[in-house]
Amino acid sequence: MRLKTALWVAAYLRRCQIEGSPAVVLRRGADEAGAIFVRICRLDGTSDLFGPAPQSTIETGAVDRTFAACLASQPAPDAEIEAYLARETKFDPDLWIVEVEDPRGRNFLDIIR
């Protein structure tokens, strides 16, 4: 059984807070099963962006959620990240966008699954 998206996001925000990196929900999607995109803002005009990993890369019985880099070159300029997220939002209006501020680019996605 998959953890509800709203609960996963709440746990992720708490993990970021514990690690000392401010995090906020920029866009709230479907509580039950919305896709999650995590933007790591490096505070220098660049960001990393992670989204749901393609189903072909996920092993059966693996962790609840798996993330992959959305862009081939990361970190990317913030304008490129904004354009990518705008396209994804048009495609899927139920998605979540979480932004983490971390100059070192830590994403904590290996801790919260």
Q: Which fold has domain 5-101?
A: hypothetical protein tt1805 (3.40.1530)
What's the confidence (pLDDT) of residue 57?
52
Residue 38 and residue 52 in contact, taking contact as beta carbons nearer than 8 Å = no
pLDDT band at 8 (very low <50, low <70, confident <90, very high): very high
Q: So where are the chain's domains? A: 5-101
Beta bridge partners of 96: 36
Each residue of 81-104: pLDDT tens digit? Answer: 999 999 999 999 999 999 999 999
pLDDT tens-digit readout, 29-65: 998 888 999 999 999 999 999 999 886 555 555 556 8
DSSP strand E in the chain: where?
Answer: 23-27, 36-41, 46-52, 67-69, 76-77, 96-101
